[in-house]
């Protein structure tokens, strides 16, 4: 019993003595609290998605990505509505391409960052831009047009979420 009294205690569970340490910050962690990564065991605080550089987007880049996706969404959304009048339901294929294009725009502006903020910029900008295009075009909106809007926004979000 005296052997465990001198051991450091886990940061999360204070009653657990441990000899393990976080691979990043060297804080004591117990086996129940550790997070397994390719580079070793780390604590829960270090494994938080908000601390990883891939998911940290500067506010200026977020605003630029949101603005660019919205503006491109207006222009390309108007073009998509005009295309829908010509080719009908096949415009859904163009909506898929449009969503991917706007997601790529958001990725380039944010230096290929990922996460919920970039997904919100791409998906929200796409939806807002295309909705504005519907009102600018002044056409009688059909379920097909709103379906294309939703499809483009979903493709934009999924493109960023499942980026290889």
The predicted model gives 98-112 an average pLDDT of 93
Domain boundaries, the chain: 1-47, 53-161
- Tens digits of residue pLDDT in 10-44: 777 777 788 888 888 888 888 888 888 777 888 88
Looking at residue 84, its pLDDT comes to 81
Pick from 66-70, 95-99, 109-113, 145-149: least confident: 145-149
3-state secondary structure the chain: CHHHHCCCECCCCCCCECCCECCCCCCECCCCCCEEECCEEECCCCCCHHHCHHHCCCHHHHHHHHHHHHHHHHHHHHHHHHHHHHHHHHHHHHHHHHHHHHHHHHHHHCCCCCCHHHHHHHHHHHHHHHHHHHHHHCCCCCHHHHHHHHHHHHHHHHHHHCCC
């Amino acid at each position: 019993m005296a052997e465990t009294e001198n051991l450091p205690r886990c940061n999360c569970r204070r009653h657990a003595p441990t000899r393990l340490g976080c691979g990043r910050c060297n804080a004591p962690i117990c086996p129940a609290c550790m997070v397994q990564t390719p580079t070793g065991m780390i604590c829960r605080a270090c494994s938080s998605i908000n601390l990883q550089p891939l998911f940290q987007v500067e506010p200026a880049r977020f605003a630029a990505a949101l603005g660019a996706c919205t503006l491109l969404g207006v222009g390309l959304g108007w073009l998509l509505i005009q295309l829908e009048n010509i080719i009908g339901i096949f415009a859904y294929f163009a909506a898929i391409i449009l969503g991917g294009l706007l997601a790529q725009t958001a990725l380039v502006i944010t230096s290929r960052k990922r996460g919920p903020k970039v997904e919100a910029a791409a998906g929200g900008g796409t939806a807002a831009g295309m909705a504005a295009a519907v009102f600018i075009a002044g056409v009688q909106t059909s379920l097909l047009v709103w379906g294309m809007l939703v499809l483009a926004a979903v493709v934009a979000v999924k493109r960023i979420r499942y980026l290889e």
